[in-house]
Structure 1
């Protein structure tokens, strides 16, 4: 807000700090837990910071430093994709005697190559699916969580 706007626009938020305002010393484990919580997507990073008595700037500084530490350890570049662990469960295939059957109209449908489960929602991604479409679906699922 510029000086010209002073008094003409309503105040959006006022923070009132009570107490002596002493410096707190956070352990690395506490910082990592708060940063992980801020990435959960359940609430905004600023809300997480406020709940823990931090300024949002302090939380974003912790997030940046932890990202930089992670990049330095793995020698990765910021544009490289990050991967999550995948759990592969073997499928149980029952052997049945082969019988001749008519080809159904579903012949030629793509078999899912990847299956994601996010908060109880299952998404099957076929081989050759467009990366932008997949990213949009995953973003929509994150937003609905």
Structure 2
């Protein structure tokens, strides 16, 4: 009979070991869960160490650890009006919702901007 189990008790990890495991776990194409099983480390430790690393509480440098950026999703804005210039100098502007505005090519840009802002 063979009994296979995890090592019981607390284990102390050096900063070098933590950094090595983090570099392995977050290498592109590697699944963190595979590293956890192979190294017999709990998933909570991996993410605690990653947080400590980002806060500068682990000594040493880890090559090629991915950097994560915070992302905020903004509300989408309506699509910009399409300008269709004809050969006669007439510009047709089609707004979302089917509204069309036709102006001469030498229209005052400030006036046109005010009109378009009202129509949106």
- TM-score normalised by length of structure 2: 0.41
Structure number, greater radius of gyration: 2
- TM-score normalised by length of structure 1: 0.34
Give the structure, 1 or 2, with the largest relative contact order (CA under 8 Å, sep 6 or more): 2
